[in-house]
Homo-oligomer: A and B are copies of this chain.
Amino acid sequence: MKHVAIALLGCGTVGKGVVDLLSRNGQLIEEQLETHISIKRILIRDLPKYEQMDLPDTIALTTDFNDIINDDEIEIVVEVMGSADFAKECIEQCFKRGKSVVSANKDLIADYGIPLLKLSQENNVDFQFEASVAGGIPVIRPMYSSLNSNRIERIIGIMNGTTNYILTNMTERGLSYETALKEAQEKGYAEADPTNDVSGYDAARKIAILATLGFHSAVTFRDVSVEGIEKITHEDIEHASEMGYAVKLLAIAQQNDDGISLNVHPAFIPRSHPLANVGGAYNAVYVRGNCVGDVMFYGQGAGAFPTASAVVSDVMNVILHFNLTVTGKRKYVWHDTKLTDPRSIRAPYYLRMIVDNAPGVLSSISGIFAENRISIRSLIQKDETKEIAEIVILIDASADGLVRDSLKKVTSLSCVRRVANAIRVIEI
């Protein structure tokens, strides 16, 4: 039987998952590939920490990347270190030394995916990264090898488990944002500093990667307009439920007439839509192709084994390419793409504002919307106290810039205490 030696860079949750998966499913994998895979070396930072781990004796641990890059027997390097320029440097060196790379590193790929893919092709090696988006859910390979007969028009993803866990628990159990976040941190779903997740940056990286492949567009993380869930309150979620919507943090890539738009923001989506029922730490990617219509991929977006499932399936593909002698031969197509001005993107909006409980307030607010030709679909006023009232307005699809300008004017009214929230309604 043929034999391929691989190395891991990093041995955290995902790295250990890869080790365990290969031991659990090794025979099944070997049978399909007619090739035995062995993990020869693992790069780690701190030897004593890992020596206590339950790793097979056959694996050599090292803190020196040179031990891996200079080992000619190692044909595939699996990069599961996470962020940092060091990963990029290592991957580039691997390519130059003829080693194929599998990476689960969304930070890196959202920023440098295209230059790295180009470098891999120049060096005739494979570069695969299914695990960088939505953990174990097959979505990257299906995008370029199954939906490739379509012009992909739109990709909507729920791709951050932390925020989805928080929003699901705010909805189902009536928790406040703060309590839900605290619980997520206690359960290990959210990090001590949750910014990367709750502010939408994690989801932004994933949508940039999907748009690159789905739209054949050279975009990066920096092209995504990002808004997090920090401002969502229990009141917003209750209003959403009453109106038949769920609140989700969506990552949306869209082809428009004048370019593409990439956005991450909380949104109201109809309760009956499949995306509304993606709960807890699950992820889903909803893709519209011009021929296939709407397709959804759903599953666990994180975790040791689900992520390792995608990593090892990439390793298997690289080995398949070795065996067929087609390594580094898949072509990818990209175009430079104009970005649509985010201010021109139209959507209905849910607006919640806290105002003085006094005559004439409604007329002043609705006057501003009328001046800006924004049409009000529904309006509910609820007295909170004798002095304060809450107004919830649903406006028809309007350009984002116009909505923001109008809200500035609304905020400047002396009778308006604050605009508590403005959330887009995605009518899918």
Contact = CB atoms under 8 A, between A and B. Distances in A.
A344 interface: no
Contacts of A298: 274, 295-298
Interface stretch (A134-142, A261-269, A411-419): A134-142
Interface in A76-132: 130
A226 interface: no
A25 interface: yes
A333 B32 contact: yes
Nearest to A140: B146
A141 B149 contact: no
Interface stretch (A196-204, A284-292, A380-388): A284-292
B305 A293 contact: yes
Nearest to A286: B298
Interface string A207-245: 000000000100000000000000000000000000000
Interface string A305-317: 1101110110111
Contacts of A299: 292-296
A148 B30 CA distance: 11
Contacts of A40: none
Contact of A145 (B29, B272, B292, B317): B317
Nearest to A335: B31
A128 to B, nearest CB: 11
Contacts of A130: 146
Interface string A18-33: 0001001100110110
Contacts of A138: 138, 142, 146-147, 295
A36 interface: no
Nearest to A27: B151
A149 B274 contact: no
Contacts of A306: 291-293
A329 interface: yes
Copies of this protein, total: 2
A336 to B, nearest CB: 14
Contacts of A329: 324
A331 interface: yes
B149 A312 contact: yes
A300 interface: yes
Contact of A291 (B25, B31, B147): B25
B309 A150 contact: yes
A272 B331 CA distance: 42
A29 B274 CA distance: 30
A183 interface: no
Of A32, A278, A291, A310, most buried by chain B (CB within 10 Å of CB) is A291
A326 interface: yes
A291 B299 CA distance: 12
A155 to B, nearest CB: 14
A291 B277 contact: no
A34 interface: yes
Contact of A147 (B24, B31, B313, B324): B313
27 contacts: A17-B291, A24-B291, A25-B149, A25-B291, A29-B148, A31-B333, A130-B146, A137-B292, A137-B295, A138-B142, A141-B145, A145-B145, A145-B317, A146-B310, A146-B313, A148-B316, A149-B312, A149-B313, A272-B277, A274-B278, A291-B306, A291-B308, A293-B303, A297-B297, A298-B298, A324-B324, A326-B326
